[in-house]
Chain A
Amino acid sequence: MSTPMPVRVVEHQAQVFRRFWRTTVVAYILSPLLFLVAMGKGLGGIIDQKSGPVGGVGYFEFVAPGLMLGAAMQGAVGESLWPVMAGQKWVRNFHAMVATPLRPVDVYMGVVSWATARVTIGASAFLAVAALLGAIPSAWAVLAIPAAALCGAAFASVVTAFTATQETDLKFPVIMRLGVMPLFLFSGTFFPVSQLPHVLRPVAAVSPLWHGVELARAATTGRFRLGPDLVHLAFLGALVAAGWLWGRRTFTRRLTQ
Chain B
Amino acid sequence: MVKRFGSFVAVDGIDFEVQPGEAFGFLGPNGAGKTSTMRMIGCVSPVTAGELRVLGMDPATHGPQIRARLGVVPQEDSLDLELTVRDNVAIYGRYFDLPRPLIKKRADELLAFVQLTDKRNDRVDDLSGGMKRRLTIARALISEPELMLLDEPTTGLDPQARHLVWERLYQLKRAGVTLVLTTHYMDEAEQLCDRLVIMDGGHIVAEGSPRDLIDRYSTREVIELRFADDEHRKAAAPTMAGVGRRREELADRVLVYTDAGEADADRLSALGVNPATVLIRRSSLEDVFLTLTGRTLDEE
A-side residues, CB < 8 A to B, are 2-3, 5, 8, 11-12, 15-16, 19, 91-93, 95-103, 255-257
B65 (CB) vs chain A CBs: closest residue: A101
Q: Determine the chain A residues whose CB is within 8 A of the CB of B72 once the complex forms.
A: 99
Q: Is the CB of B78 within 8 A of A100?
A: no
What chain A residues lie within 8 Å of B92 (beta carbons)?
96, 100
State the CA gap A179–B59 with chains docked (Å): 40
Q: What are 30 of the A-B contact pairs (CB < 8 Å)?
A: A2-B97, A8-B94, A8-B97, A12-B95, A15-B87, A15-B91, A16-B82, A16-B83, A91-B79, A91-B80, A92-B78, A93-B78, A93-B79, A95-B44, A95-B76, A95-B78, A96-B74, A99-B72, A99-B78, A100-B143, A101-B65, A101-B67, A101-B68, A101-B96, A102-B64, A102-B95, A103-B63, A256-B46, A257-B39, A257-B45
Shortest CB distance A164–B (Å): 15
Q: Is B164 part of the binding interface, using a Cβ–Cβ cutoff of 8 Å? A: no
Residue B263 lies at the interface, judged by CB distance under 8 Å to chain A: no
CA distance A103 to B92 in the complex (A): 14
Interface digits, B249-260 against A, CB 8 Å rule (1 contact, 0 not)? 000000000000
Report B-chain residues with C-beta under 8 Å of the C-beta of A91.
78-81
CA distance A103 to B143 in the complex (A): 17
Cα A19 to Cα B64 in complex, Å, equals 30
A99: contacting residue among B70, B79, B87, B91, CB under 8 A: B70
Contact B82 A96 (CB under 8 A): no
Chain B residue nearest in CB terms to A16: B82
Q: Given A16-B82, A96-B78, A101 and B64 touching (CB < 8 A)?
A: yes
Q: Which residue from chain A places its CB closest to the CB of B42 in the assembled complex?
A: A99
B80 to A93, Cβ gap below 8 A?
Answer: yes
User: Residue among A92, A96, A97 with the most chain B CB within 10 A?
Assistant: A96
Give Cα A27 to B20, complex, Å.
54
A16 contacts which of B39, B65, B80 (Cβ < 8 Å)? Answer: B80
Task: Report the bound CA distance from A256 to B185 in whole Å.
Answer: 27
Report whether B83 and A99 are in contact in the complex, using a CB–CB cutoff of 8 Å: no
C-alpha gap A255/B5 in the complex (Å): 14
Given A12-B91, A15-B87, A256-B46: A99 and B80 interface contact (C-beta under 8 Å) = no
CB distance from B105 to the nearest CB of A (A): 19
CB-CB nearest in chain A for B96:
A100
> Measured between alpha carbons, how far is A8 from B99 in the docked complex, in Å?
12
Query: When the two chains form their complex, are residues B5 and A100 in contact, meaning their CB atoms are under 8 A apart?
Result: no
Q: Which residue of B lies closest to A5 (CB)?
A: B64
Q: How far is the CA of A97 from the CA of B67 in the complex (A)?
A: 10
A101 to B93, CA, bound (A): 11
CB-CB under 8 A for A100 and B45, given A15-B83, A16-B83, A92-B76? no
Closest B residue, CB atoms, query A99: B72
* Cα A5 to Cα B44 with chains together (Å): 16
Asked if B94 and A19 make an inter-chain contact with CB atoms under 8 angstroms apart, the answer reads no
B77 at the interface (CB under 8 A from A): yes
